Each structure stands twice: as structure tokens, then as C-alpha cells.
Structure 1
Amino acid sequence: MTKRAYNFNPGPAALPLEVLQQAQEQFVDYNGIGMSLMEISHRSKEYEAINSETQQLLLELLGLESGYQVLFMGGGASMQFATIPLNFLKPGKIGSYIITGSFSEKAYDEGRIVGEAAIVASNKEGKWRSLPKASDLTIDPNSAYVHMTTNNTIEGSQFSYIPETGNIPLIGDMTSGILSRPIDSKKYAMIYAGAQKNLGPSGVTVAVISDELLKEEPKHIPLILRYSNHAKNSSLYNTPPVHSIYMMNLVLKWVKKNGGVAAMEKQSIEKSNLVYDAIDGSGGFYTGNIDADSRSIMNMTFRLPSEELEKQFVKESEQHNFVGLAGHRSVGGIRASAYLAVPYEACKALADFMSDFQKRNG
């Protein structure tokens, strides 16, 4: 077998090797039916079983045994930025947004197109280095919802608390942090995430919505955009990405088998600490982009003394079997995305490479 790359891609991202191997075994013939899942009807009993089981697995791992439904949708998290205000932002109400990075800004921009939107708090003036404190949040009581991005993929920050919003529904974009640590999921009226980071391959987005919020029946938008319609049809209103959902099913089983969300958090802290220790122990050769109390355990971002050194770092890293370490094109620098399927060994190898690179170039 070809040596596996140290995959730090920000998404689509690493998948567990055993999940890939399991899918490979069943790729041509799924459970003896004489067809691949990529050929199967989404109305078949085989797929309906996968559809239902995957929904229940995700609810179980999130600690949401009742009162919520899982929807499988298309368009990525970016589609949700628009679909949320279309469904929930009624005339006379305000969509409230906590702005902590590029993706929360995009969500806010979509909200402003649909209706009235307001910024609850923003750390943009501080170049995203630290996240707003709970005491910084000013929520308009006329808000239809409060939207937050719990982990900022590009910037490399992560909330350590869940805002208290009272009776106002809290909506969380958890695309790059879902299942990375235990949370009180019931504090959210809606959680959504593109699958391509912690849940599986690209092609499907999950929206976990409370039964209370699903009572909203926006008659002014097409059926295909209504959450309530997808819920009534168990995510089978239109043809779902069958194979992507099957892969998510395998990943969720892998998470459960390997100790669940608590174990994922422990491993993620250990992995990210390897990289952060290399940054903090470099005497300033590496500088973290985010203050220590706001750092993400999923996306570690840092800079080197010059852009020339950063380019050299990325070039040499690729020669040493590392993939995906260049920072997002909008901010530059270096970014290591160590999602759930990235093994400890990859982060250890990265920390060792960082130390060696500094010795040769510091």
C-alpha cells in the first residue's frame, strides 16, 4: 500500500483509514445486493436503513435523544447561510450574528439580503485574535435567532462557551468543530455542519433542528428550501447524496467505537498541543495567529518571520509527505487542520518538522 500522506487539508479532509477500507470492500457490491451504493435507489430499503441509522447515530453522539431531527441537505454550509434567514427571519424581526471570522461574516451578509440583520459582537478590529467574551454580547430582544460559528476554520479560533440567549433560538455553524468535544447541544435550537471535515466526505450537509423550530412553516419560499418540508420527508424530498451519507454513517460508527465525543476531545487536545507547544517554544520564530484562550483544537494557524520563509516551509513540507499546510488564500501564513481522522502520528511528525525547520532557518 502507498504510504499515507500527513493530511492537514482544511476540507475536504482526512478520513479514517479503516473507514476507507471498509467502504472499499463494499464499493462494488453492497451487502450482496449486486450493486454499489452509488447505483442504488434512495427509495430502496437498503438506503432507507442507512438514512435512518445515520440520523440516529448523530443524535446519539450529540446527546439529543429526543426533540430534534437530522436533515441531510446539499449546498454546503454556505447554502445554510441563506436558508436560515429564509426560513426564520420574519418581517419585523432581526437576525443577530456573532462575527468571528470569514464564514460568520458570510452568514451575516446573507441575512442582510433576506431581511434585517444585526451584529451582536465582532472581533474583526482585533484581526480575529481573540473571541468576544460572553459579557460582550448585546442581543436585541426582537431577534428571530442568534447565529454563531463555533469554530473558525480560516482564522483558527474556537469558542469555549455557549452564549445564553434566553428564549431566542441559538443557531450554531459547527462545520469544522462538530463532535470534537462534548457540548450541551440542547442549548442550540439548530446545529449545522458541512460533512467534509469531521463527519465524512463532501457532498452532504447536516442540519440538526429542534422540533420547536421546525414548527416554522414559511409559505413564501419554495418547498425545496423549507426545513419543515425536508423534515416531513425524512430528507428524502429530493435525491440525497447516498454515498456521502453512507460514508458519514461509517465515520459516526468509528467515532462511537473509539470512545465517542469525549475521546475525540482528549485526542484532539493532545494533537493540537504538539503543534502549539512547537509554536510557543520557538522563541518567536513561529507566532500563533490566535490568543491562547481562543485557540482552536481543530485548526492551528501561525506565521513565520517572512512570507518567503512561509513559502519555503510549505514547499519543504510537501517534500516530507505533508499536505495542506498553506494558510487560506485570504490570510496567508500556515494552517494545520487536525480533524478527528488526522492521527496523532501526523501531528507529532509536523511538530518534529517545525523544530527541524527552525534549526535550519532560525
Structure 2
Amino acid sequence: MPERSDVHYFGAGPAPLPSAVLERASQALLNYKGQGVGICEISHRSADANEILADAKAALTSLLDIPEDYEILFLQGGGSGEFSAVVYNLVGVWVEKRRAQAEKDLSASTDAKGEALEQKIFERVQREVKEELRLDYLVTGSWSLKASQEASRLIGAEYVNVAVDSRKANNGKFGVIPSESDWKPTPGNKAAFTYFCDNETVDGVEFPQFPKSLEGADAPWVVADMSSNFISRKVDVSKYSVIFGGAQKNVGNAGITIVIVKKSLLPPASPQAAPELLRRLNLPIGPIVFDWPTIAKNNSLYNTLPIFDVWIAGQVMSDLVSTYGAKKIAGQGEISAEKANIIYGTLEQYPNVYKVVPDKTVRSRMNICFRVNGGDEEKEKTFLAGAQKIGLLGLKGHRSVGGIRASNYNAVSLDGAKKLVTYLETYATGA
């Protein structure tokens, strides 16, 4: 039986965790802080739980330099849950802003009062929803596609604008991000929000930088799914309205989703508090456990939060803070880039054996997708079997696309990347 130190795991998620964190976790599971009770047994309402939440928030704030006008939330439901939550919350905020503006305008310009005024307000908002409510999605891979499909399912396809579908620029397959000049956003940047997946886990595509067309005061709210490249490089949080990610790639184990959201999108009057208007407008009313204002008001403890999962994430992030000091997450970004560069560099040395799937301009640092021997399935099985024999695990590509995928998450060591490089060379040369 191999020891943990003999294995390098490149699975796409759940992904590897730092051994030091797991060693501390084994003790915490049995006896947390010498109390004779394991961490999974403590109350989520306890002082210990609140301390765990505070520590995790502080570490994340330090790593990413999160501005004070943002809130950090811990929820359940994964990234797929947030596909829905984004729609529920931001459409609700958009409608409330339109309702408030209509009330202000019509109160000043009409003699109508009471029910007559309310009806005029409703009719104006109803017209604006029909004519102006649009959600822009940048579809660059499997996950952004699923997010756009969920939005269409929840509110209707007539409200969803696929501003780019990268398959149309790549013979029906994902693997590129078209130039921003080719995108077709809602005219006048009038979308309620623009949604993109910063790193597509299945397809190995990553945005190299924040889209320039989404910068500026006139830009719509920007939502980014960072599930598979969260805390792997420096990002300017102030450019986003919402960032979310499942923990099970770079941050921790499966069970929690982290949301970073502008406090201005957490109004005191949540859309949940005025469901009648949304019902009359035939717009969805989300479950209370996905309602960001409710979660924020309750310090992420509206319902029973898996505190052990938050503790793991906090330990991982705190260790990064300690490791990289003043560099913060940029220090991890350097290591992530170094690992990706040596793997891609080796693949490129043997073009007759390996073919990297995505275009070079958008290759993911996190999910390195390639084919072996022209995509010959039997030879790829041989490649995977050889890798497994020497402790290189989790390299099989996603079932929807096949091939090979080396997920280069934070807990994959530089030594692990180098061992993979050696195997790539050995397989290619037959040595």
C-alpha cells in the first residue's frame, strides 16, 4: 500500500489538500482545542464556530485584499447552487431598484395615491422587465453553459443573452475565447449583470485577465465563477460585483461555497421580503438558504453550516497567508504559473505525441487538458495506467470530453509537477 508521500494526485475535484492541514484536521476531529469533543460535534451557534468563521474571513480578506465594502458568505449548494442564487438575488435587486425609481418618479409626477399609484408603479416595472431585463452570459465552457441554461430555466430564455458562445469560433467545440470585439452584449451595456466562468474545469480554458469591456462605472454588475482557480492568483476584487467558488478545488473539501459580494447588493429589504411583486412579474423567488441578504444578516449561520468544512478552508488560507507574507496570493500565483509552464513546455516538446486541447492564448493554469497519440483511446488508457503505477493519479479527462487532464491546484506540489514532467518525457521517448 503506497504512503501519501508516494502519490501525487491531479484530480479535478475533490482535489488534494495540504498534508499539514489534514494532520491537524485528524486531531481536531477527535478532540477540538482540548475540549474532549470533535470539531464536527460542536454547535454552529457556539463561540468556537463564530471564531472559525471570523478566522476564515480574515485570512481570505488578507490574501485577496478584499475591500471593506464587500461581504464574505459561506453557503452550501456548490457552484451549481450559485448558478441559481445569482439569478434569484441579482434579478431581485434589479427589480427593487427599478421599483424604487418608479415610485420616486411617479410620486412626483402624478396625483395618483394609494392603490392607484401602486398600480402605476407596477405597470411601469412590468414594462421595464419585459423590455429591458437581460442577463448576459459569456459561454466559454461546460460550466458557463450550464449556468446560462439554469438562468433560462428559472426566468425564461427571452431574458438571457448569450453574449458569446466560443464553440461558434472553434468548430463546435470549446477551447478558445473570442476577441471581445466579437462579443454581442446587451446594447448599451444595459444588462442586469454579465456572468462568466473564470476557469473552465472541464475544457481547460481560463480568462488570462479581467475583460476590458466589463471595466468602468457604466459596466453591468460582473459575476465570476472562480470555483477552480479561486485563490490561485492575484485578482482585483473591486472590479467584480460577485465572486463565488466551491471550496473543493483550491480551498478545502466539498461542502461549502464561498461568495464575495458587494454590500450594496445586500439591501436591508431582501427580495425575499417582497415576494408578491416578483410573483406578479412572473419572476422566480429563491429558497431562503440562497438569499444572500439573509445569509449575511445571520453571519452565514441562518441554517446549520458545516463548520468543519469552514475550518479546513480557514486552515488552508491561513497557511497561505503565513507562507507568502507580503506577497499574499501573488506568491501562490507565481508557483501556480511555474508548475503550469513546465508541464505545458514539456507537452509542446513532443507535438507528435501530445496535443494541448485549448488555444495557447487561453490555456488554464489549473486544468491542463491534452490528448495522447491523437486521442487514441487505447493508447490513452496505457498512458494513464503507466502514470498510476508510479503514483500519478487522477489524470483521466472529464467523461464528457475524454483525454487527459492534469489539475494543477494549489496543493499539487512543484515536485509533483516535476514528476509528471518526467513521466511525460519518458512516455514520449519510450525511455
Name the TM-score class by shorter chain.
Answer: over 0.9
Matches of 2:225 and 2:299 in 1, distance apart?
Answer: 21
Name the amino acid aligned to 1:2.
E
* Structure 2 contact 140–175 (Cα < 8 Å) conserved: no
Matches of 1:74 and 1:137 in 2, distance apart?
Answer: 33
The match for 2:424 is 354
1:50 equivalent among 44, 48, 52: 52
Matched, 1:110 2:153: no
1:326-341 to structure 2, matched below 5 A, reads: 326-341=396-411
Task: State the identity as a percent.
Answer: 32
Matched, 1:269 2:315: no
Name the amino acid aligned to 1:276.
Y
Task: Give 1:110 deviation, angstroms.
Answer: 0.7
Matches of 1:97 and 1:155 in 2, distance apart?
Answer: 17
2:81 aligns to what SS in structure 1? helix
Matched, 1:123 2:169: no
Identify, as 1 or 2, the structure richer in helix: 2
Matched, 1:134 2:134: no
Task: Give 1:95 deviation, angstroms.
Answer: 1.2
TM-score when normalising by structure 1: 0.96
Task: Give 1:217 deviation, angstroms.
Answer: 2.1
Q: Deviations over 1:304-346 (max 9, x none)?
A: 1212111111111111111110000000000000100110111
Name the amino acid aligned to 2:239.
K
Matched, 1:168 2:232: no
1:207 equivalent among 256, 259, 267: 259
The match for 2:379 is 309
The match for 1:17 is 19
TM-score when normalising by structure 2: 0.81
Task: Please tell me the root mean square deviation across aligned C-alpha atoms, in Å.
Answer: 1.5
Q: Deviations over 1:79-106 (max 9, x none)?
A: 1111111122254411110000000000
Matches of 1:322 and 1:34 in 2, distance apart?
Answer: 38
The match for 2:105 is none
Name the amino acid aligned to 1:81.
F
Name the amino acid aligned to 1:129.
G
Task: Give 1:65 deviation, angstroms.
Answer: 3.2
The count of corresponding residues between Structure 1 and Structure 2 is: 361
1:258 aligns to what SS in structure 2? helix
* Structure 2 contact 67–237 (Cα < 8 Å) conserved: no
Matches of 1:173 and 1:107 in 2, distance apart?
Answer: 10
The match for 2:364 is 296
Task: Give 1:3 deviation, angstroms.
Answer: 3.8
Matches of 1:107 and 1:15 in 2, distance apart?
Answer: 27
* Structure 2 contact 14–249 (Cα < 8 Å) conserved: yes
1:177-192 to structure 2, matched below 5 A, reads: 177-192=229-244
2:71 aligns to what SS in structure 1? strand
Matches of 2:192 and 2:252 in 1, distance apart?
Answer: 31
1:315 aligns to what SS in structure 2? helix
The match for 2:293 is 228
Task: Give 1:137 deviation, angstroms.
Answer: 2.8
Matched, 1:41 2:40: no
The match for 1:194 is 246
Matched, 1:218 2:283: no
Name the amino acid aligned to 1:322.
L
* Structure 2 contact 222–241 (Cα < 8 Å) conserved: yes
The match for 2:193 is 145
1:27 aligns to what SS in structure 2? helix
The match for 2:280 is none
Matches of 2:231 and 2:422 in 1, distance apart?
Answer: 28
Q: Deviations over 1:161-211 (max 9, x none)?
A: 212333410000000011111111110000000000011011000011101
* Structure 2 contact 247–255 (Cα < 8 Å) conserved: yes
* Structure 2 contact 247–256 (Cα < 8 Å) conserved: yes
Larger radius of gyration: 2
Q: 4+ residue runs of structure 1 moved beyond 3 angstroms?
A: none
Matched, 1:281 2:349: yes
The match for 2:115 is none
* Structure 2 contact 67–238 (Cα < 8 Å) conserved: no
Which runs of 5 or more structure 1 residues have no equivalent in the other structure?
A: none
Matches of 2:352 and 2:222 in 1, distance apart?
Answer: 39
Task: Give 1:25 deviation, angstroms.
Answer: 2.9
Matches of 1:289 and 1:282 in 2, distance apart?
Answer: 14
The match for 1:84 is 86
* Structure 2 contact 66–237 (Cα < 8 Å) conserved: yes
Matches of 1:136 and 1:238 in 2, distance apart?
Answer: 44
Which runs of 5 or more structure 2 residues have no equivalent in the other structure?
A: 96-128, 276-284
Matches of 1:133 and 1:332 in 2, distance apart?
Answer: 27
